[in-house]
Amino acid sequence: MNLWEALQLGRRLLSQVSEEAELDAELLLRHCLKLDRAGIYRRLDEELSVAQEQCYRELVGRRLTHEPTIYILGHKEFFGLDFEVTPAAIIPRPETELLVELAIAFAQVRPHGAPLTIADIGTGCGAIAVSIAHTLPDVHVVATDHSAGALALATRNAERYRVSDRVDFRCGDLLGPLDAPIDLLVSNLPYIQTADWERMAPEIREHEPRDGLDGGRDGLRVISRFLEQAPSCLAPGGLLLAEIGDGQRKAAALLARKAFAGATIDVRADLAGRDRVLVVRT
């Protein structure tokens, strides 16, 4: 079997489970051959070795069970960085980059020389915390998660980008591990309604950690607890950024007003025009 035939076989098989069968087939073949896209298409007539064909068939077989391509590959790009990703944490999504952009913008307008402490609540694979620390060399980030497996994964990502000396990973529930006033709270906590989670594709429902996605009946069960705890941790003049789901603008803003009397509250939309980030300025 040559590379062209392998791509066509993968596309045909994966079309049963994926709307991006052609891309999935290419990514899995590239992973086995350790080639970039240009390298694959320069060698379409080349024959696969027995070991290469076996590797490819095994990966296609895994994808046919609805295992996400990202978990099979073991990495995902986020905010220009390549993160190790495993089933210990949810897969980082492009729309979450808005959260990082807003955090960086807030940090960059702070007075020079003023120390800035940032907390990433529910860090997962560490994509948010590491991206912020990688972009802002002078900040200190505390990243919390209740999952020891997720924290181990996030620690490896921090070490990969040499920011582990400025990202302090702590195991615990939400803001419980924090012990000092925080200038900037960021969080991508679960916000999907349980009924919606139950209807999701098996790639999500059967493989990604449910506790990183399912936010309860209204989607705001965990975010509500986060907002209740936040006033005691957020420093005066601080900022809170929380990713939310589309259609949760009013409910999330109401929870924020209840927790932060007198604060400025807004909701920012993503590039698709969907409600995405709750913004609270104290």
The β-bridge relationship of strands 234-243 and 275-281 is antiparallel
d(CA 225, CA 259): 10
Topology (CATH) of 3-65: Helicase, Ruva Protein; domain 3 (1.10.8)
- The DSSP line for 112-154 is TT---EEEEES-TTSHHHHHHHHH-TT-EEEEEES-HHHHHHH
- Residue ranges, comma separated, of all CATH 1.10.8 domains in the chain are 3-65
- Residue ranges, comma separated, of all CATH 3.40.50.150 domains in the chain are 80-281
What is the tens place of the pLDDT at every residue in 226-243? 999 999 999 999 999 999
What is the tens place of the pLDDT at every residue in 69-114? 999 999 999 999 999 999 999 999 999 999 999 999 999 887 666 6
- E-only strand ranges, 164-222: 167-171, 182-187
What is the tens place of the pLDDT at every residue in 202-214? 999 999 999 999 9
Residue 36 has pLDDT above 80, yes or no: yes
Shortest CA distance to 139 belongs to which of 184, 187, 78?
184
Helix, strand, coil distribution of the chain in percent, nearest 5: 45, 20, 35
Judged by DSSP in three states, 138 sits in coil
Q: Which CATH class is domain 80-281?
A: alpha beta
